[in-house]
Structures are given as C-alpha cells and as structure tokens.
Amino acid sequence: MLDKNAKIYVAGHRGLVGSAIWNNLLKRGYTNLVGRTHRELDLTDQLAVRRFFDEERPDAVVLAAAFVGGIMANSLYRADFIMQNMMMQCNVIGEAYKHGVQRLLFLGSTCIYPKNAPQPMKEDCLLTSPLEYTNEEYAIAKIAGLKMCESYNLQYGTNYIAVMPTNLYGPNDNFHLENSHVMPAMMRKIYLAKLIHDGDWTAIRCDMDKRPVQYKNGDAKLTVDGSASEQEILDALAFYGIYDNKVVLWGTGTPLREFLWSEDMADASVHVLLNVNFSDIIGIEKYSSVHYGTSASGAVDRNNSEGRGGAIPSLGEIRNCHINVGTGKELTIRELSQLVVKAVGFEGEVEFDASKPDGTPRKLIDVTKLHSLGWTHSVEIEDGVKKLFDWYQDSLKS
C-alpha cells in the first residue's frame, strides 16, 4: 500500500481512463498527484521524459497515455499506432526504473489477444495465434508494453503490473467521428441524425463547434465546424454515414463486445496499483528475495545476475502476468445500437454496411484472475449507456 503522501504520476490524466484514475485516487486521499498535458510533455520525446522524471521524482506511475482509435483510424495510421505507442512506453517505463519507481501500472487493451482466441479469453491465450489484422500494430505495441513490465519485474524485482481493459466508455470519452471507439462514435452519429431530422441547427452547430469534423473531399482534407453552411455540415456528416433520421454503421452488427464503465476501470486500476504485487500474480511469495538474493541489510541485491530473465529452473517459465479487467458480459454491436437509440430517443433508421470490416468476431475476457485479486465491476451496460449520453449532452454546454 502506498503512503497517502506518495507522489503519483498519471500519464494521460485528461483522457478517458486517466482522468477517472486521477479522480479515484483523490477520493481515496491521494492528493500528491502529478499530470502533464501532451502540450506540456510529449511522451515520445525521450529527453523531455527524462527531464520530467529528474524534476518530479514520482514514487509511483500510472501509464494511461496512448495513441488510440477505432477500426478506421487503425487502418489509416498503422505506422503511428505502433511507433507512437512504443516510444511512449519505452520512455516512461525506462525512466521510471532509472529513477527508482517501484510501483507502476501499465494500461493495455484486450486487442492483444488472437483474433480467434477461445472465448472467454484467459490471460494465457496471449501469443497463441495470429492477431486481428485491423488493429495489429496497436496490439503489438501493447504486447510489448506488458512484456516490458513483466521483464522488468523478472530482472529487477519491481512491481510493474499490466492491466488489460476491455472496451471502455464513460466521462471524457473521445467522440471524434474518425478516431473514437465504437460506442461514442455510434452515440454521436445517432444524436446528430436525430438533430438533423428535428431541424435543430442550433444544437448541430453547437456540437460541431465543440468537436469539429474532419473528412476527405477528393484529395482535400476539410475541417467543418459550426460556422459552416448547412450544406457543408450535411456533406461532412454524410461522409460518416449520418443523414436525416438515418445512420449507417460499419459492419454487420453481429460481432460481440464487452464494455466497461471507465470509472469502474479506474477503481480496478487503483485497486491493483495499491494492493497487488507481482508475487501475488505469479503465486510465489517473497519473489524478489528468491530471484535475486538479498544483501546483508536485507535489501534486494540487483547486482546479483543469477537467473535473470526468469530463467530460474525451480520457478519454471513465468509469463502472462497481466490482468484482464472487464465485466465478463457481452452483447452484439446491433444490441448496443439499440441501447444507444433508446438513450438518445432516436426514432429513425440504423443501417449496417456489411461491406465494411467487422473486426474481431467476439472479444469476451475471462476475469477470474481479477476477481481472485478482490475486485468486481458495479455499472451494468444498460445504465452506463444512459450515463454516457447524459455526460455527452452536459459536455456540449460547457
């Protein structure tokens, strides 16, 4: 358990999960928190990250920052997804170790698992067969991140724990029509289609001013906000399948997905950060002293190289030490769209374009390990969709 005065750096503290983790820590009495916006600290800049750690010297780190997006973004920006995420992870995890950080929480994604993994997906199915092609680069980056945490623990006796959340949604979600995940993108599309049908151009312009829409028109990439003409706005929204009382969504609507409220994810993350050690996950008590030996003072002797990399015959192979975080429940994308339609009060048509990719057919995770470590979710999807739409409407007023 960290002391209440411990300095905790939350990377990505304004994002969907990072902001929720920040608030969860505050509620638990951890007030010595450090955050930097992307403008203040570019995590892909190794020297800038090193200077930050030199100055702040955090006791613990939460790595919730990432370059993220949905199927369209993953397809368009494959190099960005692997390079930016790898650079951020290498810089933060590497500098955390160099500066003596003993507790670190790394947030990944369940897209790390093979496309055709047995369902529900246990942690042990990692790297057992090919990944889903549409998000392969992001998945590889996140696999590298969790392996970095695992390897630092094995070599240096740190407590760097990786958690793999299922699909997340909640306050501060990204509603960008190109780069957001399935639920917020779907919700905004359905909401805008309703506003077009209602002729509520005041609300449409408010939405577009808050979150301008970018789209391609021939070779040109245009940005449209609330100051554009009605026809320009309609053209931009039509690019994303948004029409008068009609929405076209990608795929068949048949893939099954699991969703977790971001504040539940934050609570699980903080629970793990504060209460879970690497030895708890691998089931070996006093792992550091077994692995490295101890000095005369009883401290872990990091200069003892015997068995580094986990190659201690008596312990066997140690891998898949990450933790799945989710609900263990699922629904189809079509069923999700029906929940969103109900929350928005949409009376129009939702159409699925089967010519577009579905992504992985099913992504349900096994949360047995998480439950054994003392945590379960509290917000069910039916209530969560309503909560998200309420938050989205409130965000347009600020």
Reported pTM: 0.84
pLDDT for 42 equals: 96
Q: What is the distance in angstroms between the CA of the first residue and the CA of the last residue of the chain? A: 37
CA dihedral sign, ordered 236, 222, 179, 72? positive
Q: Please say whether the beta carbons of 8 and 58 come within 8 A.
A: yes
pLDDT for 72 equals: 67
What is the spatial distance between Cα 363 and Cα 261, in angstroms, rounded to a whole number?
Answer: 16
At 171-189, the pLDDT tens digits run 988 898 877 789 999 999 9
Instruction: List C-alpha distances in Å: 39 to 85, 92, 101, 223, 269.
Output: 17, 16, 24, 21, 25
Question: Which residues carry out catalysis?
Answer: 138
- Pick out the chain residues at pLDDT < 70: 69-76, 284-315
What is the side-by-side order of every strand in the sheet holding 349-353? Answer: 242-243, 246-250, 349-353
pLDDT for 71 equals: 65
pLDDT for 70 equals: 64
pLDDT for 178 equals: 78
At 323-381, the pLDDT tens digits run 999 999 999 999 999 999 999 999 999 999 999 988 778 889 999 999 999 999 999 99
pLDDT for 292 equals: 45
CA dihedral sign, ordered 167, 137, 89, 127? positive
pLDDT for 146 equals: 97
